[in-house]
């Protein structure tokens, strides 16, 4: 009887800690009672202490290298000043049953990455292993397509699995191939890990299997990030319960510290979503705005990658960035000029003035009450298009911007602009269709 009371007390304390975490995350105030009941019912799905991880019994991950002989790479030295920190990380991973001692003929080196808080992240360089690994072509959902399912939604929840990859066990063969060495010895992973070429596809396949019955207009999944979007509180409670039940059956744990439960607005995959539509995450845009002038091609490519993620928000993105893209070509020397400075600053400015992209109302587009409007532009410098639709306020709202260099040779008139009778209409329209449908 005493043991039973102790267990109940522990469970009550755990639920209290869980609700405290979720309420602190929530910007819309305390979680309402009907939602609280669902969370309490499925509290076992949340990893309240981060070490409450389990492994799913639905899949194991294998590394298929065919008949390739083991690859043994040289151990990279660990700087003396951080050896104690690395050893502490290794001990922690062993205690959490993430890694174990190894006697494998395979050996990959570690990579130590300095984090913003001054600590070190331990990674493994699997590039040589990935070269001989049979690839997995299972697709990841295009992020833009995922964000096109939110029309009419008013309540949003984002869930993040707790060290999601670590919840997938490795096969015995994969454990050996995952082996890595440090100055402290040789170890191998027991669970799926970042750096393996087939890891994202494997995890997406798992999530699609686990949530297959609920994925659709109200539930979206991108690897280990889950978005629930509904038009009412009652519907939200119902859908959240179904998602948590699916995780329970799959023995998957959610990280409460990274969850936002039933908010009118939240961040998801670098975007802010709410009832009005989708906008670029201000925090991510701020990083782009404060990015220092690139000193080499690698830094410029990093900047263009960050900026390009939000190209759908910017009219004529490619035309603005064209001088910068040309500078990344291996045929050109990296000679930064005034032209590049102007393009660099113009792109930053355009990204800080991005509009809210409305959600397409497909039903009203089909019945003709609110047809889509398409505006196109083409010249020898590039092509561009805007997809728009009338909103409840009677005004046209942009849904999507796209642009690219001209891939077809357009005729020039005397003023130097492209002919607009057919080609300037056709080419941007085709590109808009392909871009919007693919999420590019």
Secondary element (H or E) of residue 120: strand 120-124
Six-digit token pair at 355?
A: 């509009």
Mean per-residue pLDDT, 133-139: 94
Question: Among 104-118, 127-141, 341-355, 381-395, which stretch is predicted with the lowest mean pLDDT?
Answer: 381-395
Q: What is the pLDDT of residues 401-430, one digit of tens each?
A: 888 876 554 444 444 443 333 334 444 444
Mean per-residue pLDDT, 78-91: 90
In this predicted structure, the answer to whether residue 440 has a pLDDT above a threshold of 80 is no
Helices (H) and strands (E) in the chain, counts: 14, 15
In this predicted structure, the answer to whether residue 3 has a pLDDT above a threshold of 80 is no
Mean per-residue pLDDT, 105-119: 86
Nearest-5° angle of CA 360, CA 363, CA 369? 90
In this predicted structure, the answer to whether residue 7 has a pLDDT above a threshold of 50 is no
Topology of 282-438 in CATH? Alpha-Beta Plaits (3.30.70)
Residue 383 vs residues 57, 90, 174, 352, 430: alpha-carbon distances, Å: 50, 53, 47, 22, 10
Mean per-residue pLDDT, 77-88: 89
Q: What is the pLDDT of residues 229-266, one digit of tens each?
A: 999 999 999 999 999 999 999 999 999 999 999 999 99
Threshold 0.85, pTM exceeds: no
Determine how many CB atoms are found less than 10 A away from the CB of residue 366: 10
pLDDT of residue 167: 94
Sequence-ordered strand ranges (E) for 137-230: 155-160, 180-182, 185-189, 219-222, 225-230
Better-predicted residue by pLDDT, 355 or 124 = 124
Nearest to 309 by CA among 440, 213, 437: 440
At 433, the pLDDT band (50, 70, 90 cuts) reads low
pLDDT of residue 436: 52
Mean per-residue pLDDT, 346-352: 90
Better-predicted residue by pLDDT, 400 or 343 = 343
At 438, the pLDDT band (50, 70, 90 cuts) reads low
Mean per-residue pLDDT, 218-226: 93
Asked if 36 and 23 count as a contact pair (C-beta separation under 8 A), the reply is no
Kindly list the domain boundaries of the chain, sorted by start residue.
Answer: 282-438
pLDDT of residue 437: 56
Buried b (16+ CB within 10 A) or exposed e, 235-261: bbbebbbbbbebbeebebbbbbeebbb
Q: CB under 8 Å to 130, separation ≥6 — which residues?
A: 196, 197
pLDDT of residue 401: 83
At 361, the pLDDT band (50, 70, 90 cuts) reads confident
pLDDT of residue 435: 56
Q: What is the pLDDT of residues 294-339, one digit of tens each?
A: 999 999 999 999 999 998 888 888 888 999 998 988 787 888 999 9
pLDDT of residue 295: 94
Six-digit token pair at 420?
A: 């607009």
Mean per-residue pLDDT, 81-102: 92
pLDDT of residue 420: 32
Rg (alpha carbons) of the chain, rounded to whole number? 25
At 159, the pLDDT band (50, 70, 90 cuts) reads very high
At 93, the pLDDT band (50, 70, 90 cuts) reads very high
Q: How many residues appear in the chain?
A: 440
pLDDT of residue 152: 85
């Amino acid at each position: 009887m005493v043991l039973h009371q102790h267990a109940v007390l522990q469970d009550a304390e755990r639920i209290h800690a869980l609700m405290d975490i979720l309420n602190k995350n929530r910007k819309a105030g305390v979680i309402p009672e009907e939602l609280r009941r669902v969370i309490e019912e499925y509290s076992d799905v949340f990893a309240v202490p981060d070490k409450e991880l389990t492994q799913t019994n639905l899949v194991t991950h294998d590394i298929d290298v065919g008949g390739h002989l083991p690859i043994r790479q040289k151990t990279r030295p660990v700087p003396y000043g951080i050896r104690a920190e690395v050893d502490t990380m290794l001990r922690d991973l062993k205690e959490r049953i993430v890694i174990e001692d190894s006697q494998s003929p395979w050996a990959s080196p570690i990579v130590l990455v300095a984090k913003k808080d001054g600590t070190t992240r331990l990674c493994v360089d699997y590039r040589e292993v990935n070269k001989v690994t049979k690839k997995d072509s299972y697709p990841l959902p295009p992020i833009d397509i995922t964000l096109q399912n939110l029309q009419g939604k008013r309540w949003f929840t984002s869930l993040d699995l707790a060290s999601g990859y670590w919840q997938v066990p490795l096969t015995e063969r994969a454990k050996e191939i995952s082996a890595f060495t440090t100055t402290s010895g040789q170890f191998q992973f027991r669970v799926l890990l970042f750096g393996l070429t087939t890891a994202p596809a494997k995890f997406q396949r798992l999530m699609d299997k686990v949530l297959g019955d609920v994925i659709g207009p109200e539930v979206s999944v991108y690897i280990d990030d889950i978005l629930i979007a509904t038009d009412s509180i009652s519907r939200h409670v119902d859908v959240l319960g179904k998602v948590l039940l699916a995780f329970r059956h799959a023995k998957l744990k959610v990280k409460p510290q990274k969850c936002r439960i039933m908010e009118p607005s939240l961040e998801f995959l670098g975007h802010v979503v709410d009832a009005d539509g989708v906008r670029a995450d201000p925090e991510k845009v701020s990083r782009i705005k404060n990015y220092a002038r690139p000193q080499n091609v690698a830094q410029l490519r990093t900047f263009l990658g960050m900026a390009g993620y939000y190209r759908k928000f910017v009219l004529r993105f490619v035309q603005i960035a064209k001088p910068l893209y040309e500078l990344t070509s291996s045929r050109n020397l990296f000679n930064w000029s005034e032209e590049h400075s102007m393009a660099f600053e113009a792109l930053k400015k355009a990204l800080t003035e991005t509009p809210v992209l409305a959600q397409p109302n497909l039903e009203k587009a089909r019945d003709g009450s609110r047809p889509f409007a398409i505006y196109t532009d083409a010249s020898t410098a590039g092509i561009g298009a805007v997809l728009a639709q009338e909103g409840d306020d009677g005004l046209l709202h942009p849904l999507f911007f796209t642009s690219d260099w001209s891939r077809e040779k357009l005729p020039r008139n005397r003023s130097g602009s492209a002919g607009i009778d057919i080609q300037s209409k056709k080419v941007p329209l085709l590109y808009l269709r392909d871009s919007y449908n693919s999420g590019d």
